[in-house]
Amino acid sequence: METTENFITLAIREFRRLKKLSDDAVAQISQEAFFNNESSGDNSIAILYKHMAGNMKSRWTNFLNSDGEKPDRQRDFEFIITETDCYESVLKSWENSWAILFGSLSSLETTDLAKTVKIRGEGLSVLQAITRQLIHYSYHVGQIVYLAKHLAGDQWQSLSIPLGKSAEFNKAPKKYIEK
């Protein structure tokens, strides 16, 4: 039981790390760069934020009791920037959706991990569903960090161990953790 009990805490910590990576990456670019896409068909960071927010809202709202693909979700529109999508509105949706995720995870009990939830009609254990979302969000956070690093150029500040600092890190890892 103890291992299972710790999984919820671990999942919350890892989702928080993903959010922090995204937020720290975005903090290094301009609002204009946030909406920049290299070419037609590429996703901007704004689109990735919209998509992740839409996914989180759908998956984590009423998590245990309804399909994770809500009927009112319009996934295709998550990949389109409209005239109503401004920096503030995209960030507000992003923050609200993370709050839904953390609220849902925080409300789970150890016994909930073995329950079955549905995503697009597919039955998954809560444990599987959480893991699935961690993997999905990790994929997109990697894209966000990569794009932000590209857009920030020479102004980029490493979000992990900077190049050439591995030996220094190994001597004093706490200096780099939770900076």
Query: pLDDT of 37-64, one tens digit each?
Result: 888 889 999 999 999 999 999 999 999 9
- Name the pLDDT band for 170 (thresholds 50, 70, 90): confident
Please tell me the distance from the alpha carbon of residue 37 to that of residue 29, in angstroms, as a whole number. Answer: 13
Please tell me the distance from the alpha carbon of residue 140 to that of residue 146, in angstroms, as a whole number. Answer: 10
CA 105 to chain centre: 14
Higher pLDDT, 177 or 125: 125
CATH number for the domain that contains residue 96: 1.20.120.450
Cβ–Cβ under 8 Å, residues 16 and 23? no
- Name the pLDDT band for 164 (thresholds 50, 70, 90): confident
**pLDDT at 39 (0 to 100):** 84
Q: Mind listing the pLDDT tens digit for each residue in 82-95? A: 999 999 999 999 99
Number of domains in the chain: 1
Q: Mind listing the pLDDT tens digit for each residue in 60-79? A: 999 999 999 999 999 999 99
List Cα–Cα distances, 44 to 5, 16, 29, 147, 179, in angstroms: 37, 22, 12, 8, 26
**pLDDT at 179 (0 to 100):** 47
Among the listed residues 145, 140, 143, the one whose alpha carbon sits nearest the alpha carbon of residue 28: 145
Domain span holding position 111: 2-175
Q: Residue 145 contacts by C-beta under 8 Å, 6 or more apart in sequence? A: 21, 22, 25, 159
